[in-house]
Amino acid sequence: MTVKVIGAGLAGSEAAYRLAEQGVKVELYDIKPKSFTPAHKSEYFGELVCSNSLKGRDPYSNACGLLKEEMRILGSLTMEAAANSEVPAGGALAVDRDRFAEYITQKIKSHKNISVFCREITEIPAGRCIVATGPLTTDGLSRSISGICGGQLHFYDASAPIVSRESIDFSKCFSGDRYGKGGDDYINCPLTEEEYADFVGELVNAERAELHSFERGEIFEGCMPVEVMAARGKDSLRFAMLKPVGLRDGSGNKFYAVLQLRRENREGGAYNLVGFQTNLKFSEQKRVFSMIPALKNAEFLRYGVMHRNTFINSPQCLNADFSHKARPDLFFAGQITGVEGYVESAASGILAAIHLCEKLDGREPSIPPDTTVCGALSAHISEANADFQPMNANFGILRPAEKTIRDKKQRYEHLARRAVRDITEYKQKLNMY
């Protein structure tokens, strides 16, 4: 039996290596080194483009650290390469980029069960296949993916910040939908005229992140960053994402401006700042957005980003095992599925390979529980969501603790220990076959 893997980034490399280690013959296709996307420079597989950091190291205080621990338990090639190429970076896991990618490439090319082909794939092939081509999928394959996903291929260039529910000051906000329609789906964060003026002043002058050269020509066409809109006039936000029209608290009070927070996941542990797509530096997002009274002590689970990104509307076309609903032998992995970040992409490659192996063995896919980051990301890409957006690892997507734990440090530690226990049990079940 042979499986084709398209793309040798982190997700594709993890998928190919996992399949090969399970005794599956793999044909791995990538355009390198003959061609490169605008973001890639190295001939090696698993290239880290934007940063050499794989984020936080501690699994008990950092959700990405927890995901990395889950991946180690599952036998991750990415984590093996990181251990081999680590550089000092305090509480973060940072690597020597070239050594990291060279390690992955050597492991892939030397594996007896992997055949590597330097070739651009423009059509999704028939038969068993994992597509892991990332956010800069070539145009030809993008059209093929769009066709097989019912036209549900999105070109996405922005996301708004996400904050944890526990960090919102509910004494300075109220719940309710505009004009009282639809129940209490939104958390509304009002600002006075003075608070609004101060906020806009800081927002307009805040420092922005530098864009890649290939993003500069298209970044504002489909999405307006909140700081750009604010610069168009002092009241521009009050007629857009901060408009107070139709929003009143329980006492019937009206407000000068209102930011709405919308639930990001089913459990309600995370909320996004509606309409606040942004290109501010992360530190500036924390400083400026915390000027909103209800978010004074906000814990940012994910900062907003501006970048070109291709991803499918996964809840409409993918199952929780990363397989296509209409083609059970076709799997997707990586950022194209709507997981965001290096580590998250790699994890999805492991999971897609695990589930494909299960199908090859005639077994039903066993999805990790949503108490783990792996399971929560699997749920994110498969559960119905009318406003589906990419998601990274954060504690807000995990199933909440069985009891309320007010202290954030203790809550995170509890969730992490539960996740490590559950992913270990999950691996043990996999090893039974």
pLDDT tens profile 247-270: 988 888 999 999 999 887 667 788
Give me the phi and psi of 130, to 5 degrees please. Answer: -120, 120
Count, in order, helices (H) and strands (E) of the chain: 12, 16
The token duo for 331 is 């799997």
Query: What average pLDDT score do residues 384-412 get?
Result: 90
- Domain formed by 162-302, architecture: Beta Barrel (2.40)
Exposed / middle / buried, residue 285 (Cβ in 10 Å: 0-12, 13-18, 19+): buried
pLDDT tens profile 42-70: 778 998 876 678 989 999 999 999 999 99
- Cα torsion angle, 97, 100, 103, 104, sign: negative
pLDDT tens profile 293-311: 999 999 998 888 776 667 8
Query: What average pLDDT score do residues 93-101 get?
Result: 88
Every domain of the chain and the residues it spans: 2-157+308-430, 162-302
The confidence score (pLDDT) of residue 220 equals 42
- Domain formed by 2-157+308-430, architecture: 3-Layer(bba) Sandwich (3.50)
Give me the phi and psi of 82, to 5 degrees please. Answer: -65, -40
pLDDT tens profile 350-394: 999 999 999 999 999 999 999 999 999 999 999 998 878 888 999
Q: pTM for the complete prediction?
A: 0.75
Query: What average pLDDT score do residues 335-345 get?
Result: 91
For residue 133, pLDDT beyond 80: yes
324 touches 331 (CB < 8 A): yes
What mean pLDDT is reported for the chain?
89
The confidence score (pLDDT) of residue 219 equals 44
